[in-house]
């Protein structure tokens, strides 16, 4: 069931026509800055409730305690990832306008198990991994380009164990993401994959014996 308190926040964001200035760190070296309404971001950039619920099921399935989300946006999906109080969610976001909004939501729902790491993931992720020894679940939903996706994958898997699970969002969104999914779903450390079209799930358990599925939600 969608979380009523979180969905109430989403509904208010969808009605909010205030504009904020966003630096798009996903645009490579060309720093693109643009003004967008909060409603537009809520409509186009957030995981829909069904996907957030799917992530919650995955966290339950592998009993994830250490969770990484690349791309916080306004923290709506993060609140779903943080449902289990004994888990710890590390969420990464480069836009300070968005981190301010996300932090307000975390406070509003009195969430104590989320740590928001602000800055460009290119530098914040390697720094974070130096002080972390395990990750059970990672959602890559920030820079949807080929090279950063592979780089983030290679960094994160060093902290994975065989029960860890990774989700890549928007795997068919662009040619670069198609290519990244094709390569990563056949990576030597990946023993199972599920292509759900909107996102792809990677498994690292050798017992899965290289099984790959394409499903429609």
Ligand X SMILES: C[S@@+](CC[C@H](N)C(=O)[O-])C[C@H]1O[C@@H](n2cnc3c(N)ncnc32)[C@H](O)[C@@H]1O
Q: Which residues bind ligand X (CB under 6 A)?
A: 25-26, 45-47, 69, 71, 73, 76-77, 92-95, 98, 120-122, 141-143
In angstroms, what is the minimal distance from the CB of 175 to ligand X?
Answer: 18
In angstroms, what is the minimal distance from the CB of 206 to ligand X?
Answer: 29
3-class state of residue 21 by DSSP: strand
Closer Cβ to ligand X, 62 or 96, answer by number: 96
In angstroms, the Cα distances linking 164 to 68, 109, 138, 195, 198 are 11, 28, 8, 17, 20
Please list, in sequence order, all residues whose beta carbon lies within 8 angstroms of the beta carbon of residue 43, skipping any fewer than 6 positions away. 14
In angstroms, what is the minimal distance from the CB of 182 to ligand X?
Answer: 21
In angstroms, the Cα distances linking 199 to 100, 105, 207 are 27, 25, 23
Closer Cβ to ligand X, 84 or 119, answer by number: 119
Closer Cβ to ligand X, 47 or 191, answer by number: 47
In angstroms, what is the minimal distance from the CB of 98 to ligand X?
Answer: 5
Q: Which residue's Cβ has the minimum distance to ligand X?
A: 94
Closer Cβ to ligand X, 18 or 188, answer by number: 18
Closer Cβ to ligand X, 7 or 205, answer by number: 7
In angstroms, what is the minimal distance from the CB of 195 to ligand X?
Answer: 18
**DSSP letter string over 100-145?**
HHHHHHHHHTT--SEEEEES-HHHHHHHHHHT----SEEEE-S--S
Measure the CA–CA gap between 107 and 9, rounded to whole angstroms.
12
């Amino acid at each position: 069931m969608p979380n009523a308190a979180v969905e109430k926040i989403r509904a208010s964001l969808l009605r909010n026509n205030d504009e904020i200035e966003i630096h798009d760190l996903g645009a490579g070296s060309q720093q693109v800055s643009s003004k967008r309404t909060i409603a537009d971001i809520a409509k186009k950039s957030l995981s829909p409730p069904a996907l957030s619920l799917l992530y919650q099921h995955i966290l339950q399935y592998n009993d994830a305690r250490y969770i990484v989300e690349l791309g916080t946006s306004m923290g709506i999906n993060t609140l779903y990832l943080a449902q289990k109080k004994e888990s710890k969610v590390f969420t990464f976001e480069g836009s300070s306008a968005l981190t301010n909004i996300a932090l307000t939501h975390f406070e509003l729902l009195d969430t104590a198990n989320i740590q928001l790491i602000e800055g460009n993931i290119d530098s914040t992720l390697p720094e974070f991994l130096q002080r972390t020894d395990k990750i059970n679940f990672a959602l890559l939903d920030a820079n949807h380009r080929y090279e950063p996706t592979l780089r983030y994958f290679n960094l994160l898997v060093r902290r994975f164990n065989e029960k860890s699970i990774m989700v890549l969002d928007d795997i068919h969104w662009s040619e670069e993401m198609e290519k990244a999914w094709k390569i990563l779903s056949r990576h030597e450390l990946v023993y199972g994959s599920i292509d759900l079209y909107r996102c792809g799930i990677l498994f690292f358990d050798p017992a899965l014996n290289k099984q790959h599925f394409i499903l429609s939600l």
